Structure 1
């Protein structure tokens, strides 16, 4: 139990004062008594008897549970208690680590703290260790290890261009073209007038040239369902020799395949939800961590928080799971993976065979760096060749393959080509 304790200064003052007075009386040395008496009296007077009752307290407010990459503000509230003159508290100043120790007067009630994180994920942001000091530093309370306070920094969102998505009718109006006729602005066909057609749809120019009434038929607009399938079984960086070595003190490798995949998933989710689409999440390694498809800003927050949970629970699983029940009919499936094994390729191809438009986002960091041993270059060549073979196999089975470039600029064109190819097959 933490309590007020005497310092070495108090012990030395009492011992030296008592010793000088005793030796002066025993040896009949007035000088020793004159030196020892003021020291002993000043030490006894400076002892804060009432200060033993005060209990310093330190609390923190303003630390959000979730946040974005960068700096944030927090306030450390101080209550030094009775008998204290100064209090030392550890407060972060925006630099890495728990921050330096600041010494302030006991009457100070608040101290501002700057917390900063340059990587997303879970982490400790602030730990207000503190030490209260009495008059003349003769008594101290502590040091007390503060409660660790952390926050969840969400994966960053990059602004992406709107892509061409396959539509699925989940409402009357949406942002994408459906195959059925409807009331959008995109022309589908011009046909002869039939009973029940509205007069405002009559194309008078074509009707006058043909001698009969013709109407303009438009495509319907519908919402789209998007399923983000995240491969959390592997997390590799650019150095091939370090793939089997886990990084200490971090949840994921900065710049690794899982980092790239989660950033891409958050950006894609934000782009699709901004269009009014429904977005869900599937963890290929741990299906129980998935999120059902939904729409709106709250869904984006839910997905970004779940990406942090998936990254925290990431680990090897023998086979990826992408079951039929996890993917709504007609949804766009976006598989985010480094594609370093045949199992994830097989799951991706099966999703395409079920009739879904599948987009494979290659999250393997580039360029890869070979291990410096004599076999490093050869191993890297084999890995690159096998990786390209897997990507080509997915292309031949109708899967659109794209490498994530951080901005998603090539995704729209790739999806457009994939949809054109499916239309030709139909």
Structure 2
């Protein structure tokens, strides 16, 4: 009697824990009982022989009902990882016994379908899988959905949607060469030439010695030649001036209002598996900003970020490795909130005086061109980086696809020509460093 009460208590606990009967339980219980009853009523031994093992096996399988709910948890990973990183993840299965198998499904981002399903025996409590983050962005990278089965599959628990594991994959850092930038007058040390004299390495001028000059700046060769020209053993001392070296401010203005790819037919649809199109305009702009920011921060410049569509997401100029990490996280935040806004915002207060501004946009509307032209009047250098895909493919599903493509390209050429007419240099993403270098040579 005590065993019967314990079994009934365990069955009620299993029901509260989410366990329920399957069709196999109904077939085993009612089928076996019906065959045995029919065999006794009809005096058919063959029916009893068939139904009795079925009924007995069902009762034996239910003699040890499962206990508490099955919990499937994934190993904790860092909140932010690098694009291209990989990791081995341990999936832990916790149950109170009476479980014959556990089916764990691992949907992975960017892959169609339900994902691979792993079937674990009841004795196994751990599953290891491999994750690789091939593209940057933010989203769910692991969710262990699971379903558990009792003995002979008569009771099941689930399916249960697992806890989502979200990760921020930072944009990759390509190693482009960092071109020189225009100097900022307020700096006293740095990697770029300043117009004022100082203690840099680049010669500026030679002049006679004046009170207050340092003796170590005297150029004795020039002083001796000046004395020989005047017939004196030592002429008036002459001092060689050098340019001061200053840091530069570089501000990237990201146009997150539009993300377009080469296929014109896909411009009105979202990218499956993430908010950013692979190889699209926003992807190209973010990768270029991350690479250039890393290069210029490495040489001591101050780098900032402005989001033309959402100004509140900007980052003021800063230096160091923490600034690079902050910029990369903010780029992901900008793409997460990306969307069309009718008026881009690039105010003078967002850009420090004397800073170089690089606007990255596909230039699909006149508003961003007007904003860039207005900003060109407040900065020493403004570059417009065209991130529109080089080869646009017309939509084959409409007879107007070719005409739409020609109109878009014609309007795009007119906008770029307007930028050049107002003194704004237009370069591709890979030509930013070279454009900055040409600007420096022109200033010299």
The reply to whether residue 263 of structure 1 matches residue 287 of structure 2 is: yes
- 2:277 counterpart SS class: coil
Shift of 1:232: 1.4
Alignment counterpart, residue 392 of structure 1, candidates 398, 413, 417: 417
Residues 200 and 399 of structure 1: CA distance in aligned 2, closer, same or farther (over 3 Å): same
Which has the larger Rg? 2
Residue 418 (structure 1) aligns with: 439
Q: Does 1:134 align with 2:158?
A: no
Paired position in structure 2 for 1:205:
221
* In structure 2, distance between residues paired with 1:62 and 1:241: 40
Where does residue 132 of structure 2 map in the other structure?
116
Structure 1 84/196 Cα, relative in aligned 2: closer, same or farther at 3 Å? same
Say yes or no: does 1:149 pair with 2:190.
no
The residue that corresponds to 2:4 in the other structure is none
Q: Which residue of 2 aligns with 1:329?
A: 353
Equivalents in 2 of 1:143, 1:391: separation in Å? 56
User: Deviation string for 1:69-125 (max 9, x for gaps)?
Assistant: 333332211113221122111136898356311111223232112223433222321
CA distance in 1, matches of 2:108, 2:243: 57
Which shows bigger deviation, 377-386 or 275-284?
A: 377-386
Gaps of 5+ in 1: none
User: 1 CA distance for matches of 2:210 and 2:387?
Assistant: 52
Specify the SS of the correspondent of 1:123.
strand
| Alpha-carbon offset, residue 391 of structure 1 | 2.2
Alignment partners' CA distance in 1, 2:420 and 2:110:
46
> What is the DSSP-based 3-state SS (H/G/I as helix, E as strand, rest coil) of the residue aligned with 1:111?
strand
**CA–CA separation in structure 1 for the residues paired with 2:58 and 2:366:** 78
TM-score (norm 1): 0.90
Per-residue CA deviations over 1:13-50 (Å, capped at 9, x if unaligned) read: 21222122212222233443344333322221221434
Report the secondary structure of 1:320's partner residue.
Answer: coil
Q: Secondary structure at the match of 2:211?
A: coil
State the 1:170 CA deviation.
5.6
Deviation at 1:376, TM superposition (A): 4.2
Cα distance, 1:245 vs structure 2: 4.2
Unaligned runs of 5+ in 2: 1-15, 228-235
RMSD: 2.4
Query: After the TM superposition, which of the residue ranges 154-163 and 110-119 deviates more from structure 2?
Result: 110-119
How far the C-alpha of 1:56 sits from its partner, in A, is: 1.0
Paired position in structure 2 for 1:28? 43
TM-fit CA distance, 1:364? 1.0
Aligned to 1:87: 102
Closer/same/farther in 2, CA of residues 91 and 247 from structure 1, 3 Å limit: closer
CA distance in 2, matches of 1:141, 1:333: 59
Question: How far apart are the structure 2 equivalents of 1:121 and 1:95?
Answer: 12
* Aligned counterparts, 1:135-214, within 5 A: 135-169=151-185, 171-211=187-227, 212-214=236-238
Number of residues of Structure 1 aligned to a counterpart in Structure 2:
418
> Any idea what SS the aligned residue of 2:168 has?
strand
